[in-house]
Amino acid sequence: MQVVLAQPRGFCAGVVRAIDIVERALERHGAPIYVRHEIVHNEHVVESLRAKGARFVEDLAEVPAGALTIFSAHGVSQSVEAEARRRDLRVVDATCPLVAKVHSEGKRYVAQGRTVILIGHAGHAEVEGTLGQIPGHTHLVSSVDDVEALPLAPDTPLAYVTQTTLSVDDTRSIIQALKCRFVDVLGPETKDICYATQNRQAAVRDLAKVADLILVVGSANSSNSNRLREIGEELGVPSYLVPDEGAIDPAWLAGRSVVGVTAGASAPEVLVDGVIAALRRLGPIELSTLPGIVEDVQFRLPETLA
């Protein structure tokens, strides 16, 4: 059996930065430190950091007054920031710089007098944070039908921003629907779309050209990992999301000669290694990696931890 790895796959620069922030905070300040929400959406990463002394909470009320608190890579609302100040919490912000850029763009559009449309998935931590960062009323849309249902006049000055775990391909039809229905629409340039999301989705499309089965390493609550699996399915290749090697069903492999493997932006490479080892235990494999983009993006740590 041939096993072909996608390139790129796994951790992006924002995830690396967020994890580094938690680990450095533990080294410098000792346990416990508190993290609002999962630092990234991967259960293995979260459990590893929990074992080192990180405590993950969904509500700042669970954090003792004055305690060191880290905001997750997904970002938080202004109301959460205000509560942290009110409770005198020592905060280190691990918000991905690309998410923070979306917040800034949204605020800039509001200052221009525009109504902001956020393209994203309701309930996702990043979307909740973005909605809470942009002042005024922001409309969330997830589909072309949502655009048609917007209670706005055609001449309303609009601007759109997007959830970073969506790619250019994911948002194209919604953006087109906005431009068809409204006469004055602005939005960020394509280069502002999250590079990691776009690169990993392009890599899966390449993988689908050669594989007859795709395994996506990632957690069930990871938006970008789920989207990678969906793309494989859309291209006609049976695709499965696996949190780790233990989730692989040998029956999936029956009659398959080329298995493609990739990983979401919050999945560590050690989990990919585990999947490869599990496939080897089922029989001999030939391992190769597709040519693809080699990412060299790095984000600086906050000054307090650098």
Positions annotated as catalytic residues are: 126
Rounded CA-CA distance 25/244 in Å is 27
136: its two tokens: 């005024």
